[in-house]
Structure 1
Amino acid sequence: MDYGTVVITGAGSGLGASLAKKFALLGSHVCLLGRSKEKLIQSASQIKGDTSFYEIDVRSKKSVREVIGKIKRIHGSIDYLINNAGVGIFKYLDELEEDEIVQMLDTNLKGTIFCTQEVLPYMKEQNKGQIINIVSGSGKVAKETESVYSASKFGVRGFTDAIVLELANTNIKVHSAYMGNMRTDLWEKDMDEERLASFMDPDDVSDVIIGSLQNQHKMYVKDITILNHC
């Protein structure tokens, strides 16, 4: 199944890179978006398929508008948007610096809002499209040392639920993906190997997400929840 033009933020590593690889294998053109050109080049080099990459700062409305507009001009349509870019800084609240709080709220919440805002007019024009917001399990259950991270993800959850209602009478579908801990850059610097061994593989998670998007003409899987094995 060809998913058309797929735009993925935070595609330089982790789940974003895995999703890019899987969508490309399905015949889609995949646009890899991220802040680090070096990471995007490395990620794209490992993909067998049709790709392009774009440097973006999802915290900046101007940057998002320029990149999304460029993609639309080049490819003619944007069929899938995956809001995957995210930042997690895990400390007790009184240990968090102001810039760390701003970074999480701006990337995780505002970045999702800005990207969705810029893509929606194009999807409405073509009267089709799918938006997948990678929320994480912290958008459902708050955790110690994740006060601001959880706040940003609860915000993404509320935003997603609201635009589902907003788009109910269109052919645009919006999904939330909630997952437990994965082996990504978010954790690998600060976690011991024994604990990391229990974390999910991003490739397995991407398989579940893409599988949930199939047969959408017959059903609508709004929420995708993937738990760590207990």
Structure 2
Amino acid sequence: MTKQIIAITGASSGLGAALAKQYLKQDAHVCLLGRSNTTLEKVVENTVGSYSIHSLDITTKTDVANVFQEIENEYGSIDMLINNAGVGYFGLAEDLQEEEISTMLDVNVKGTIYCTQAVLPKMKTRNKGTIVSVVSTAGLQGKANESGYVASKFAVRGFTESLQAELADTMIRVSGIYMGGMDTPFWDGIFNEEKRKTLMRPDDIAEIIIHNLEERSNLSVDEIVIRNKKPKSKQTI
């Protein structure tokens, strides 16, 4: 297969779905990865392009390894991995439940590491490839009522920056994406309709990411920071 092969985790909605649709328009073969084939298939309904659907549990290393091997056997080596899958639970630090903490660490941190491990050996062999971690601005600063989520994202940031150091002498590109809140199902039941109107749009974020990740000679984008524009405060007389 001569098309660029792009694997996107968490592709069933939000930013992952937006990235998948836009990369399909660029004539790439997009591997949509998520927990449910049904939800992934809805993303590409009435969509023209080369894609494949893969259900997996990114918190299980053997499952990740098997699925990524299947992709390689069927379509060839993965050119770009976008670690986009993520989950968050919010509230006061003392109120976080054990299961919530474990889920955030398993999905956000372990999932990112396992998927990266699945593509890295072949990328090293070819001395070529791109690994992207969608971190969010929660990986840049602490936030009230988001302590567990922030902790997991700081871990992803640390992993990403360490990977950049390990691969500094190679042609493999590693980028961290730090964006503010987007209007996606991630915030269902958390933000009301008025608050969600102030959030960024996944399609806009996807467009910015894709433009910045475009391969250019002698250039690597280590991080992309995209923040919500704060409305100007009204002046008082």
Give the stretch that moved more between structures: 215-224 or 190-199.
215-224
* TM-score normalised by L of structure 1: 0.97
Give the stretch that moved more between structures: 218-227 or 160-169.
218-227
In the TM superposition, what are the counterparts of 1:1-230 in structure 2 within 5 Å?
A: 4-230=4-230
Larger-gyration structure (1/2): 2
Give the stretch that moved more between structures: 45-54 or 102-111.
45-54
- Structure 2 distance, partners of 1:20, 1:149, is 25
Cα offset for 1:44?
2.2
Aligned partner of residue 44 in structure 2, secondary structure? helix
Question: Does the Cα contact within 8 Å between 1:57 and 1:64 map onto a contact in 2?
Answer: yes
Give the stretch that moved more between structures: 38-47 or 150-159.
38-47
Cα offset for 1:215?
4.3
Cα offset for 1:147?
0.6
- Structure 2 distance, partners of 1:134, 1:24, is 19
Give the stretch that moved more between structures: 52-61 or 215-224.
215-224
Amino acid corresponding to residue 67 of structure 1 in structure 2: V
Q: Percent identity?
A: 46
Q: Structure 1, residues 55-110: CA drift from partner, whole Å, max 9, x if none?
A: 01110001100011111111111000000000011111222111111000000001
Aligned partner of residue 114 in structure 2, secondary structure? helix
Amino acid corresponding to residue 68 of structure 1 in structure 2: F
Question: Does the Cα contact within 8 Å between 1:112 and 1:133 map onto a contact in 2?
Answer: yes
Cα offset for 1:171?
1.1
Structure 2, unaligned runs of 5 or more: 231-237
What is the CA RMSD across the aligned residues, in angstroms? 1.2
Q: Number of residue pairs matched?
A: 229
Question: Does the Cα contact within 8 Å between 1:3 and 1:23 map onto a contact in 2?
Answer: no
Give the stretch that moved more between structures: 183-192 or 29-38.
183-192
Structure 1, unaligned runs of 5 or more: none
* TM-score normalised by L of structure 2: 0.94
- Structure 2 distance, partners of 1:18, 1:46, is 14
- Structure 2 distance, partners of 1:189, 1:47, is 30
Structure 1 stretches of 4+ with a deviation exceeding 6 A read none
Structure 2 CA distance for partners of 1:193 and 1:221, relative to 1, 3 Å:
same
